[in-house]
Amino acid sequence: MAMARAISGIQYPERFYAAASYVGFDGSTSPTKSLTSKFSNSTALLLYTLYQQASIGRCNIPEPSSWKIVEHSKWASWNQLGNMSSTEAMRLFVKILEEEDPGWYSRASNSIVEPVTDVQINHNSKVESVVENGNSYPETKPISAENGSQDRIQDKDVVIQGFGSVTVHDQWISPPISGQRPKARYEHGAAVVLDKLYIHGGNHNGRYLNDLYVLDLSSSTWSRIEAKVDSSTESSSPATLTPCAGHSLIPWENKLLSIAGHTKDPSEYIEVKVFDLQTTTWSTLKTYGKPPVSRGGQSVTLAGTSLVIFGGQDAKRTLLNDLHILDLETMTWDEIDAAGTPPSPRSDHAAAVHEERYLHIFGGGSHATCYNDLHVLDLQTMEWSQPKQLGEIPNARAGHAGVTVGENWFIVGGGDNKSGASETVVLNMLTLTWSVLTSVEGRVPVASEGLSLVVSSYNGEDVLVSFGGYNGRYNNEVYVLKPSYKSTLQSKVIENPKADTVSAVHFATNPTQDVKSEFEAGNEGKIREFVMDNVDSTKLKADLITVLKAEKDELESSLSKEKLHATQLKQDLAEVEARNSDLSKELQSVRGQLAAEQSRCFKLEVEVAELGQKLQAIGTLQKELELLQRQKAASEQAALSAKQRQGSGGVWGWIAGTPPPS
């Protein structure tokens, strides 16, 4: 027999979670905006550093480049904490908050976890039902592994509060749950706000539901919320509690947004219903622009302050692959005509946003087939791509659910109209590599279609929580899994090296503003001195500000030197450009002279050709002259010979009887 620890009022770690949520670390809003709007720069730095140590532990991320002042300063501050325990970081986080904002507890009291009373649990080898305040806790039920072996929860594994009974990793467990369970269902909406899981609507035996239940994850207790309709707000209009299924439930600030979904009498366009967690009232959000057509089975993903809606199936059972964005700051719809090849029309797929820039779409189905393709949309360039998947690519499926923990995207359930998917798979969104985390055997709810999957935190560990689904029967059981995957991106204020092309959330967007000083490098161990030696926080903050101002002056001096160097480089560049201009002019002049010489050379070549022709003609005339001279000489010789003959004979030769020559 063991006795649980008694808690009077809210204690740790719940007090830390409430304080973290109060200052903006619950993931519903940007922690940057919340911190810098509520606290001074130095206080914001202290809260950020202690939150990182309490929620993640020792800083084990790579050191950013020194020229990334903001990221390097945050890393240096966190790294100074060393191996300080998570409990000590939680205590100091709350201490600083109470010093800066003494009334925070009363303002956040509506969202604080209720105290837990003493509970007796019988630690036998066979875990029996536990009765507390008239409610019966069922036996802890581990799921059979694929090889058929049972992983039993031993006595030493049983812890009283919440999901503390789940100590094994990478194994789906059905923990003890008390209270009024919701009706079995699938295609419902699910969301977590401050360690409370909200379940809304869904489908049971073909009937649409409109009820709203909450599971307190710290005490493992179900309760039903009797919601009302509010028509008094100016920003929204009255809402009818219309039963629906295939919708999406998104946490936003201290509200839940219910988007789209199938209904018995569908409207023409998508309506956004708002549930106020403080007043427990529903209303219809007033939006601007042209909303998308009514649909169900779509994906709705929160990216910064925008909702990205893709695909689904309209009231006429037409499959869609259109893309719409709802800006939650202006409440304006915008239809996006993205470049590239989009995914084929589909519904019941899974979607996730990585680093608030890349929208991943996996799986889904049409009327005839299921898919296991992966598509990525760059939300900055608005361009689709279909990257190559690595590792153990999952089978085709639809109706699955997914949730992200840092860069890891966990996919659970779904099916292909023949059987449910028994593997829980993980996609590393940095490397796009798939791996199988675990498998289940038989018809268990985590191998269902239309189940929900959310992530919460217990004692600093991430916990995946699955509810409902349909696998031949409707389910209303809760299963949890503690993944062994450790994320390096759990906090949105940590920028990933991939951010050269990614719009990661920065703690300070403009390093030239005053907020830069709170994150500049070289804090010289002031944070460590505070948390390890318990010095007075006011004095520490003053010392820290002094150090940061000195560092700021040094950086500004370095910046001035760099500016002078840049000015000198600009002058040198101007001189080089002037010299280059002169050389270009000289080159043009030389090119002109060369063109003139080429023309002259051409003329000379023509004259040479003409002279060659003349020389050839002179040679012909010379030959003719020589021939005539020879003819003339021959004629003269013949005439001379005849004259000689006449002179030697003549009359006297005749008289003398000399015969003439023959």
CA 577 to CA 579: how far, in whole Å?
5
- Got the DSSP string for 346-412? -BS-EEEEETTTEEEEE--B-SS-BB--EEEEETTTTEEE-PPPEESPPPPBEEEEEEEETTEEEEE
Query: Looking at this protein, which amino acid is placed at residue 244?
Result: C
pLDDT at 432: 95
Q: Above 80 in pLDDT, residue 186?
A: yes
Of 96 and 183, more confident: 183
CA-based end-to-end distance of the chain = 175
CA 410 to CA 395: how far, in whole Å?
14
Tokens 């992200």 map to which residue? 404
pLDDT tens across 625-643, in order? 989 988 989 988 888 888 8
pLDDT tens across 240-261, in order? 678 999 999 999 988 999 999 9
pLDDT at 525: 40
CA 96 to CA 46: how far, in whole Å?
8
| Lowest mean per-residue pLDDT among 248-257, 282-291, 336-345, 440-449 | 440-449
pLDDT at 35: 66
Q: How confident is the model at residue 11 (pLDDT cuts 50, 70, 90)?
A: low
pLDDT at 46: 78
CB count in 10 Å sphere of residue 660: 8
The stretch 283-291 carries a mean pLDDT of 93
pLDDT at 121: 28
CA 450 to CA 398: how far, in whole Å?
9
What the chain holds in terms of domains, given with CATH numbers, is 13-27+34-102 (1.20.80.10), 171-482 (2.120.10.80)
pLDDT at 484: 86
| Lowest mean per-residue pLDDT among 99-113, 387-401, 493-507, 553-567 | 493-507
Backbone angles phi, psi at 635, to 5 degrees: -65, -45
pLDDT tens across 305-332, in order? 999 999 999 999 999 999 999 999 999 9
Of 497 and 39, more confident: 39
CA 309 to CA 327: how far, in whole Å?
11
| Lowest mean per-residue pLDDT among 37-51, 114-128, 355-369, 410-424 | 114-128
pLDDT at 541: 58
pLDDT tens across 607-617, in order? 899 898 888 88
The stretch 449-459 carries a mean pLDDT of 91
Torsion of CA 480, 486, 488, 490, to 10 degrees: 20
| Structure-block tokens of residue 403 | 């949730």
Q: How confident is the model at residue 17 (pLDDT cuts 50, 70, 90)?
A: confident
Buried b (16+ CB within 10 A) or exposed e, 364-397: bbeeeebbbbbbbbbbeeeebeeeebeeeebebb
Which of the 8 DSSP states describes residue 244? B
pLDDT at 31: 60
pLDDT at 37: 66
Of 456 and 75, more confident: 456
CA 223 to CA 182: how far, in whole Å?
8
Show the beta-strand stretches assigned E in 125-252.
130-132, 135-137, 141-142, 173-174, 178-179, 189-193, 196-204, 207-216, 221-224, 228-229, 236-237, 248-252
Q: How confident is the model at residue 221 (pLDDT cuts 50, 70, 90)?
A: very high
> Which range has highest mean pLDDT (98-112, 480-494, 497-511)?
98-112
Of 626 and 652, more confident: 626
pLDDT at 489: 42
Q: How confident is the model at residue 652 (pLDDT cuts 50, 70, 90)?
A: low
The stretch 48-60 carries a mean pLDDT of 85
| Lowest mean per-residue pLDDT among 174-178, 226-230, 241-245, 445-449 | 226-230
Q: Above 60 in pLDDT, residue 533?
A: no
Q: What is the pTM of this model?
A: 0.54
| Lowest mean per-residue pLDDT among 63-67, 260-264, 365-369, 640-644 | 63-67
Residue 273, phi-psi category: left (phi > 0), alpha (psi -120 to 50), beta (remainder): beta
Q: Enumerate the β-bridge partners of residue 256.
A: 251, 275
Q: How confident is the model at residue 284 (pLDDT cuts 50, 70, 90)?
A: very high
Mean of per-residue pLDDT scores for the chain: 78
CA 472 to CA 150: how far, in whole Å?
23
pLDDT at 256: 96
Query: Looking at this protein, which amino acid is placed at residue 403?
Result: V
Share above pLDDT 70 across residues of the chain, in percent, rounded to a whole number: 73
Q: How confident is the model at residue 396 (pLDDT cuts 50, 70, 90)?
A: very high
Q: Above 70 in pLDDT, residue 109?
A: no
Of 107 and 563, more confident: 563
